[in-house]
Structure 1
Amino acid sequence: MSLAIPTQTSFQGRYVQVNGITMHVIVEGSGPEVLLLHGFPDTHAIWREQIPALVEAGYRVIAPDLRGCGLTDMPRHVSDYRIGTLVQDVAALLDALGVERVRLVAHDWGAAIGWQFAIQHQHRVVRYAALSVGHLSCYTTAGWMQKLKGYYIALIQLRGFAEWLFTAFDWAFLRFFADAPHEYLHVRAGKSAAGRMTAAMNYYRANLGLLIPRQHGFVNVPVMGVFSTKDRFLVENQMVRSEAYCKAGWRFERLEGVGHWMTSEAPERVNPLLLDFLR
């Protein structure tokens, strides 16, 4: 059963049965479907500036709270958050909504899921816009600077302590970690309910194997990678080198002076890119 926490946006949500859980999802507009996948530690609220723009442009927007996040059920076992299960959630969501193919847009952890979904279910993806996180084979071979920027992954493995660290002293570490005042209240609202921070951290705990360099496959639909130069957690080369895995076309866009949460920090720059690419 989902916990009663604020939805953080004014969009009207619905609940669907997906892969053994109840998922909360925003469905707005009509026309070709666009699926939006959020990352850590977010909810569908990260897309609050994109949903109206996409609807106005004539799209039907689907923006779920992913497993464990927002108003979606949060299974208690770490193993419930393995990437294979997260990819299955996406396919099951489209099945539940009667959607065959989508234009896919994803950020952060959602982008990691999006890459795998586009590889494994390419017949269901028209084109894919990956924000911040590049192809997983490129992320794992991005060098020592990427490993240093990903220090928090090691912290998150300290179960119990990590949850305390992120929320203690009026969430001081989270505010430092994110360095995104425009997003802080949304993240705090989504993670204040019991168990929600643990569920979000389980994405990292369940998928340590993804950090081992290996080949994750090729994408056979057009891809746009968007990287923001003030991203505190990612290096640019893990996105740029993703071109080698995109066999049906690649476009790279750099947002100068923008931080990690680009969709809410610079929607006036992100939205035109998405509308142009999705068209």
Structure 2
Amino acid sequence: MEEFITLFQDPVSWAALATLIVMEVVLGIDNLVFVAILTNRLPKRQRPLARRAGIGLALVFRLVLLTMIASIMRLTQPVFEIAGNELSWRDIILISGGLFLVWKATREIHHLVDPNPAPSLYGAVVMGFAAAIVQILALDLVFSIDSIITAVGMTPHIPIMMIAVVVAVGAMLLAADPLSDFVQKNPTVIMLALGFLLLIGTALIADGFGVHIPRGYIYAAMGFSALIELLNMLARRSRRNRARSTLYGEDD
């Protein structure tokens, strides 16, 4: 306890904590986009539970990974080589997660544009709920390992990492329902979010093969696309209002 108090008497520790919280929250955007797309495919009454269960279990998952920090760091050691690229277990996990995101986004896009979609994407309702939780946790494994390894470069103190994770996941829990509802009420945003998943998946695959794409570029592209979509939404609303005003004016 004394070591904990001494740790947070150091201004450097507070700076590291603030930086880690921001980083975890930003990385959590990827998770939230995936959670929103995935849980919106479930029956409406199951969506809030699926979001909270998936994100809550993800918190437990990340805290457990932090207690295994020494083992996590060993994942960066090369295990074999492909076409001149040395791959570690971390790289394999990132590539696998990226491929899963690309596959998932492609499948969802196909489901949206197919004029005769299958009646159910996941089968029975129970299996759909279970599949949603499993897939949320599977992607969180990818993002968790990546963020933890990044966090180690910022601070060697596990308590700071744990606090940052708890705060960031708490923010995800607060934002999950509003974001999912917004996506559900705006169909065009669904396609945009799926495009984000394709972008993130491609970035993870590239990162796994040693081609690092700065996250700032990715989030800048996502932000610009979201801004354009927001302008489109405002334009559509304006057209509807003008049409309504014209209709009422003619009736008068």
Compute the TM-score of the two structures, normalised by the length of structure 2: 0.24
- Identify which of structures 1 and 2 has the higher relative contact order when contacts are C-alpha pairs closer than 8 Å and 6+ apart: 2
Q: Of Structure 1 and Structure 2, which has the larger fraction of its residues in strand?
A: 1
Q: Of Structure 1 and Structure 2, which has the larger fraction of its residues in helix?
A: 2
Structure showing greater Rg:
2
Compute the TM-score of the two structures, normalised by the length of structure 1: 0.23
